[in-house]
Amino acid sequence: MNDTTTNTLITELNAALAWELRAQIMYSHYSAYVKGIHRLHLKPFFEEEANESVVHGKTVREQIVKLGGMAITDRDATEIVQTTDYKVMLREAYATETRAAATYQQILALPGIDPELSDTIEQISFQEERSVEELSQLLDS
């Protein structure tokens, strides 16, 4: 990989990392604030999504280090909507997962990405797409 390719990859991976850091906070926040009967299902669901974001963030961070880059430590600045309404939470989660899936697709489309990195990102991308699908079903009521 040449320097331009590597720098572009690092920039894009950092954007994905920032988004995972935001997702961790959003899901942990929603797992604490979800109210009513839906708390029974959605608290563990949000906790699981928070954990998945931690794992994705860890994987992306390690790839940035491997490329010799500097991993960011700040979350993406996109607002985390404060609410106790589970439907709003699910809509925000859907938007977050859709954006995450698009971010990983963008990385996979970069020219010069090596097969190992591509494989790692693809695994994450599949999980994001599963979350998008799951959330779209949760919203379909």
Query: Is 56 among the residues that bind Fe ion (CB under 5 A)?
Result: yes
Q: Which is nearer to Fe ion, 22 or 34 (CB)?
A: 22
Q: Which is nearer to Fe ion, 35 or 126 (CB)?
A: 126
Minimal distance, residue 60 CB to Fe ion, in Å: 9
Distance CA 101, CA 32 (A): 25
Minimal distance, residue 37 CB to Fe ion, in Å: 28
Q: Which is nearer to Fe ion, 35 or 62 (CB)?
A: 62
Token reading at 139? 């919203």
CB of 99 within 8 A of CB of 76?
Answer: no
DSSP, residue by residue, 18-55? HHHHHHHHHHHHHHHH--STTHHHHHHHHHHHHHHHHH
Distance CA 83, CA 88 (A): 7
Piece of 1-9, 27-35, 42-50, 54-62 that binds Fe ion (CB under 5 A): 54-62
Q: Which is nearer to Fe ion, 85 or 129 (CB)?
A: 129
State the residues that interact with Fe ion by CB under 5 A.
56, 100
